[in-house]
Amino acid sequence: MAQFNAGNAAFTPTASTTTLNNYVLTMLTVGSLAKVKMFNWGGMGTASQGYQTRWARVTNTPATPTALSISPTSPGITPIATCNTYGTVATGTAGIQLFQQDWNVLGGGGVVVLPIGGEWFVSGGALGTTYNQIGCGNVTGSDANVSNYGITWEE
Select from 134, 152, 136, 131 the least CA-distant residue to 32: 131
Residues in the chain, how many?
155
Residue-wise pLDDT for 102-154, tens only, equals: 999 999 999 999 999 999 999 999 888 889 999 999 999 999 999 999 999 99
C-alpha–C-alpha distance, residues 104 and 63, integer Å: 31
Q: To 5 degrees, how large is the angle CA 110–CA 64–CA 151?
A: 20
Query: pLDDT band at 89, cuts 50/70/90?
Result: very high
Residue-wise pLDDT for 40-76, tens only, equals: 999 999 999 999 999 999 999 999 999 999 999 988 8
Mean pLDDT of the region 77-104: 96
Residue extents of the structural domains in the chain: 3-154
Residue pair 23/134 in contact (Cβ under 8 Å)? The answer is no
